[in-house]
Amino acid sequence: MSWVTDFAPERDDLDSCVTCGLCLPFCPTFRLTGDETASPRGRLAAILAVARGEQPVDERFDEMMSFCLQCRACEPPCPSMVPYGKIQERVRAELLVQRPSLRRFLRRLVLGRGLASPTMLRTAGIGVAVAQRLGLTRLVGGPTGRSLRALRRVSLPLRPTRGRSWEPRGTPVGTVALFSGCVMDVWFTPVHEALVDVLRVAGYRVVAPASQVCCGALAAHDGAAFDAVRMAAHNVRAFAEVDLVVVDAAGCGAHLRDYGHWVDGGAELAAKTVDATVLVARLLDDGALPELEGDRGEVAVQDPCHLRHAQRIVEEPRRVLRAAGYVPVEIDDLGLCCGAAGIYGLSYPDTSAELGRRKAAQVRDSGASVVASANPGCELQLRGHLDVGIEVRHPIELYRDALLDELTA
């Protein structure tokens, strides 16, 4: 018995690895351990052994796979272009079925069902807002507590974007749909609002379709494949009428752009989805948005893995930051994962924290007092490991602040 689900890894994908080993130094878990079994090539060898029926899906296999951050840093350096992220998602789907556990069941409930439910999200949003006001977040220990305390202050009442629309300032040039997401919409509303402000200045009408749901990335990464398919199908319908979809969370963007693997019509949605920094950079190039004067100092750039590795977006966030009057500072030439990796910290708190500390040290060494990160998970991880005094912002927020300064001046 090797695989048992319809989501099993495809043999052609596995065979595309020629075991050259060029991926090894780019893998954060290999860098920490020096261990082949914690490397992309080693994991692929293990997966292939299972696919051939030569090794069972046992506890050790589960461990080897689960230790992977799914950061996809191994994909850009791979000359054979192995679709590692896709393979890993499919392995997780097998693990969910073949290695059932209470923890897996609960995770599936939260990631596969909870995140897809606007009611649940609203409840969680209000819950956190109240906890923040009563100081209850201090009582939670471990990585969950650290992330909770690293959250921005959640507004009350909540201001979700789902179902809303905004008219352009000045001459209308077109309509763009905002991908609201799940936690982004209740816990990171200010990022959406900043993006909407910027797009309106550029002449866009912005709509956030009411029927959209969570993209399903966290469900897919954890093996809740049926839930991921359902959410993807839902979003394909929700965005069927628009030509352009903008997303300001790297994790959601990467997953939306992989929708072709998941559902019929997914490739069409993927093709019209664009990361916020890419869209704003394009608008800057076209002269639809201004290059802002002024010297705002240095900003450390943290590349979210699902922006840099999964979507290969590197230049655009820097372009946006320069246009906002900042000098981008590089902190890590390999772009190693910060350790957030979705809910990885729950399973591997020590590894997650070690990577978080390393990333925070790189930010500190840069000397910048602001760090730009275009993904909610990374934002929490950075703030959780950085000292007060270093601000963590989305690049679009930094541009919006500079833009509004200029417009009101």
Partner 1 sequence: MDLVAELESVLGSERVRAHPLDRRVFAKDAGVKTGPVAAIVFPETAEETASCVRIAAEAGIPVVPRGAGTGLAGGAVPVEPALLVVMTRMNRIFEVDEQGRTAWVGPGVINLELSKQLASTGLHFAPDPSSQQSCTIGGNVGTNAGGPHCLAEGTTVAHILAVELVTVDGEIVVVGAEYPDPIGLDLRAVIVGSEGTLGIVTRVLVKLTENPPAVGTLLLGFPTVDAAAATVSEIIASGLVPAALEMMDRPMVRAVENFVHAGYPTDAAAVLLAEVAGHPEGVRAEAEMIERIARSHGATSVRTAADDAERALLWKGRKSAFGAIAQSAPDYYLHDTVVPRTRLVEVLDAIYEIAARHGISLLNVFHAGDGNLHPLVSFDASRPGELDRVLAAADEMVRVSVEAGGTLSGEHGIGLEKRDLMGLVFSADDLDAQARLREAFDPTGRMNPGKVLPEGSRCFDRAAVSGGTGR
Question: Do residues 17 and 41 lie in contact, with contact meaning Cβ atoms separated by under 8 Å?
Answer: yes
Q: Least CB distance from residue 330 to partner 1, whole Å?
A: 13
**Interaction between residue 268 and partner 1 (CB under 8 A):** no
Q: Using an 8 Å Cβ cutoff, are 377 and 340 in contact? A: yes
In the complex with partner 1, the residue whose CB is nearer, 77 or 265, is 77
Partners of 301 in beta bridges: 330, 372
Give me the helix-helix angle, 315-323 and 276-285, nearest 10°: 60
From the list 11-19, 99-107, 188-196, 284-292, the region that binds partner 1 by CB under 8 A is 11-19
Q: How far apart are the C-alpha atoms of 125 and 180, rounded to whole Å? A: 14
Report the alpha-carbon distance of residue 248 to residue 316 in Å, rounded.
Answer: 13
Residue 87 interacts with partner 1 (CB under 8 A): yes or no = no
Both tokens of 321, joined, read 């930051």
Part in contact with partner 1 (CB under 8 A); list of ranges 22-30, 180-188, 285-293, 393-401 = 22-30
**According to the binding rule CB under 8 A, does residue 328 interact with partner 1?**
no
Give the nearest distance from C-beta 15 to partner 1 in angstroms. Answer: 4
Q: What is the largest CA-CA distance in the chain?
A: 69
- From the list 29-37, 125-133, 160-168, 360-368, the region that binds partner 1 by CB under 8 A is 29-37
36 binds partner 1 (CB under 8 A): yes
| Omega before 100 within 30 of 0, i.e. cis | no
Q: Report the DSSP pairing between strands 370-373 and 298-302.
A: parallel
Q: Does 361 bind partner 1 (CB under 8 A)?
A: no
Q: Scanning the structure block, which residue is given the tokens 């500072």?
A: 329
Answer yes or no whether residue 360 interacts with partner 1 by CB under 8 A.
Answer: no
Of residues 61 and 262, the one with the C-beta less far from partner 1: 61
**Nearest Cα residue to 377 out of 163, 73, 32, 69:** 69
Kind of pairing between the strands at 204-207 and 165-166: antiparallel
Q: Is 22 in the site for partner 1 (CB under 8 A)?
A: yes
Rounded to 10 degrees, what is the CA torsion of 197, 199, 202, 203?
-100
Query: Pick from 25, 168, 203, 290: which binds partner 1 (CB under 8 A)?
Result: 25
Least distance to partner 1, CB of residue 337, Å: 18
Pairing of strands 174-178, 391-393: unpaired
Q: Nearest approach, Cβ of 311 to partner 1 (angstroms)?
A: 16
Q: Which is nearer to partner 1, 54 or 293 (CB)?
A: 54
- x/- letters, 37..76, toward partner 1 (CB under 8 A): x---xx--xx--x----xx--x-xx--x------------
Binding site for partner 1 (CB under 8 A): 15-25, 33-37, 41-42, 45-46, 49, 54-55, 58, 60-61, 64, 77-82, 333
